[in-house]
Structure 1
Amino acid sequence: MSENTFHSFAQNLVEEEVNVITTRGDFNGRLISVGKDVILLQNRMGPQHLTLGIRIAEIVVLHRAELGPRGPFGFMPRGNEFVESAEAQNN
């Protein structure tokens, strides 16, 4: 992928929730801006926002995060099939 192609791809993801995999670790958050050598990612760490600068040369994968429904503990809530089977056990 050429530099211009990456920049245009990344520009389309600005203000989106993204996942960034680099040679030094994985990061997720809202893509704030795309510069010549660095992207800025805003990550929510507790009640505060943390802005990360990630060198484009270190990026292996950049993609839009798939945000699905989540329960209060960060995983998918149980579906109706689990509720029905629990009710069946009580009868």
Structure 2
Amino acid sequence: MIWTIWWAWLCVAIVLGIVEVMVPGFIFLGFAIGALAVSMLILNIGLALSLPLMVLLFSALSLVAWLVLRRIFARPHGVKYFDRDIND
């Protein structure tokens, strides 16, 4: 049962982190943080769940991580207009 081994989830997190460097956009970074969180839960707590529950936990943690990243690094809303020269 590979999904109950902490270093397997850590390897998935590293691979997803590398993919995020190649294809930026916080999508794969959220998945990488989710996999890292599952890895740490298995390592520290000894969490051993069935595969569907592990995938559910991984997807929930990934969604939370993605929402936090989106909140922190979101672009400002609206367009800034300048009525005068910005160098004055």
Alignment TM-score, normalising by the size of structure 1: 0.31
Alignment TM-score, normalising by the size of structure 2: 0.31
Structure holding more strand per residue: 1
Structure number with the bigger relative contact order (C-alpha 8 A, sep ≥ 6) is 2
